[in-house]
A and B are shown apart, each in its own frame.
Chain A
């Protein structure tokens, strides 16, 4: 930081331009899927899918194929396993998701332990490295962002019905199950696309925090989407700036920024006075 103000000459560097673009795209797409999981109260499912993607990416690194393919396959498989388990109630969802979560973490450490030589690339997947994002990563992230935003625009009313009133959506003839699994798979794909820049351990905070902050501030789903996206992008960019000026890891700075935004949103939330869930019996 200079005495007269911040030195923004760093913006002329190509790696920083890529990082800013990755922050924009990652901030948008993570926040949009975050709105789904936060509104459906499925935060733990998202955490589980994030760790599955991480384990899949490490498998790819260990066996020598593209880690993004491993991440995609594992995250989609996790969504396909967890969705029915949570739905059918055969096991307590917390228990079954917890088991899948710990299995994924165990597999991640196993694949890492089996790797030969230096594990720099694997550690990058842990923490993320937004400053070293490649052109190819950006193209993939841009494509996923375009697809997710496009799907939300086209199927907004079905998504709104399913995330707010899933049983009702099913009863009025909306393909609610297809939409529900579509949302879970979108979460998996988004996590895969953002893994390189944000990191497997930190990605989920960027999905959860901006959406949870927006949830505190509005009763309109459309506004919630826009606020979450703004918070997500601000978190990424502010985290990047903090990372540059204070020489701290970028992924950690992004996540801490998003957590601070959540704290502020909760402190100033107009919903703070709203009592907890309705208690039966209900008054007329």
Chain B
């Protein structure tokens, strides 16, 4: 039985003169947790946008959850894909609270002209409880700290009942304690919900231990891929980032937690 949920063939993406992805091919099986690492500008985020149909392919094709992506079906596919970006700057005066923000995750599946049901609001409250911010549900979204905001973003993705979970630097710009809590939560969700997860980071210390396969990107290409054990080696990482990386001091302590 074919359990491939993402299949990308020879993908090329460009933003005017800049080529963001150059002939990337990738297969992801159901239930995999894949880490995507690389320096800034390597094409990591662009790869995620191909999966959720927000990126425009100038060459190649992508099949996600059984459908070949075209301009017309990507909006329906996005309803089945949870996406958490890095902490964004939010206007503290924004007129929306945490509970309403999390409910936005349901709106795609709910469809136009239909209001959320009581069961959906109860589901939002359950998920807020699960991510540990139920006590903040009535707080304006712009009043949250970085770690709290990311929990709200994860809750929003969860109420969407996604089959694929895309995480784009979810621990960037938050302190180490909050980083650890967010990483634990991501691993818990991956296991509990049997999710297929793609986790992008440029900070090797935030790579969750649950990661089964590591994709190393450089200059818009998949430079190498393999098990974390085979990829997280000093000579490989030093070549990838173009600067000396010490596995013993920078990665090993975090992965051991």
Contacts and interface: CB of A to CB of B under 8 A. Distances in A.
Given A157-B115, A219-B97, A278-B92, A172 B104 contact: yes
A191 to B, nearest CB: 23
B147 A165 contact: no
Contacts of B142: 274, 278
Contacts of B107: 157-158, 161, 169, 172-174
Contact of B173 (A169, A219, A275, A281): A281
Contacts of B96: 160, 164-165, 219, 221
Contact of B174 (A216, A221, A284): A284
A282 B92 contact: no
Contact of A173 (B91, B101, B108, B173): B108
A278 B181 contact: no
Contact of A165 (B101, B143, B175): B101
A127 interface: no
B145 A172 contact: no
Given A164-B94, A284-B147, A173 B78 contact: yes
Contacts of B52: 171
B112 interface: yes
Given A157-B107, A282-B87, A224 B92 contact: no
Interface in A219-263: 219-221, 223-224
B40 to A, nearest CB: 16
A10 interface: no
Interface in B82-108: 83, 85, 87-97, 100-101, 104-105, 107-108
A218 interface: yes
Chain B, interface size category, equals: 35 or more
Contacts of A271: 92-93
Contact of A281 (B90, B112, B146, B148): B146
A218 B95 contact: yes
A280 B173 contact: yes
Contact of B75 (A175, A219, A280): A175
B101 A172 contact: no
Contacts of B147: 282-284
A41 interface: yes
Contacts of B81: 171
A271 B140 CA distance: 11
A282 B145 contact: yes
A274 B145 contact: no
Contacts of B143: 274
A172 B93 CA distance: 23
Nearest to B181: A284
B104 A161 contact: yes
A148 to B, nearest CB: 17
B178 A275 contact: no
A284 B92 contact: no
B177 interface: yes
Interface string B52-63: 101000000000
B95 A172 contact: no
B149 A282 contact: yes
B115 A172 contact: no
B83 A171 contact: yes
Interface in A146-160: 154-155, 157-158, 160
B160 interface: yes
Given A171-B83, A174-B108, A281 B78 contact: no
A39 interface: yes
Interface in B36-85: 52, 54, 75-79, 81, 83, 85
B179 interface: yes
B109 interface: yes
Contacts of A281: 146, 173-175
Nearest to A283: B145
A277 B101 contact: no
B218 interface: no
A169 B97 CA distance: 15
B95 A164 contact: yes
Nearest to A41: B91
Contact of A164 (B92, B101, B176): B101
17 contacts: A39-B95, A41-B91, A155-B113, A160-B96, A164-B96, A164-B104, A171-B83, A173-B109, A174-B107, A219-B93, A271-B92, A271-B93, A277-B89, A281-B174, A281-B175, A282-B87, A284-B179
What 6 A-B pairs are tightest by C-beta distance, nearest first? A284-B178, A282-B146, A173-B108, A284-B147, A173-B79, A172-B108
